Amino acid sequence: MKTPNKNAKRIQRHHKVRVKAIGTAAKPRLCVFRSNKHIYGQLIDDLKGETLASADDSKIKADKKGDFAKVADAKAVGFDLAAKAKDLKIKKVVFDRGGYIFTGRVKALAEGAREGGLEF
């Protein structure tokens, strides 16, 4: 019997989360995607099927090397996403961690979004 790889297990967890986390225009879903090098966040209206705002760390990349630079970048992405949400007059969101565990960069993105003014 073949065991599924890590990403397949993550996608299974993500589907479980997506049953409960549904975004609307008034309260969109803040979806997180994390790769080994980058982190991305999107505000999604699931009823219309469109992305309202997005942010990533391509322009934010810190000059430092190492894991702490990735965490700092993730926090900046959350803060940037909150600023874009504020422009769209969005205060409350539904957080979708994308099947990742809520530590490290995912947690830093959430903290940055909270500091920027978003409520989960």
Q: How many domains are there within the chain? A: 1
Q: pLDDT for 104-114, tens place per residue?
A: 999 999 999 99
* Residue at 29 is within a domain: yes
The domain in which residue 76 lies consists of 6-115
Q: What is the pLDDT of residue 26?
A: 86
Q: What is the pLDDT of residue 44?
A: 93
Q: What is the pLDDT of residue 41?
A: 96
Cα separations in angstroms, 107 against 24, 47, 48, 50: 23, 26, 28, 25
Among 87, 88, 69, 76, smallest CA distance to 113 is for: 76
* Residue at 120 is within a domain: no
- Parts of the chain with a pLDDT under 50: none
Q: What is the pLDDT of residue 67?
A: 66
Q: What is the pLDDT of residue 66?
A: 67
CATH number for 44: 3.30.420.100
Q: pTM for this one?
A: 0.86
Q: What is the pLDDT of residue 35?
A: 92
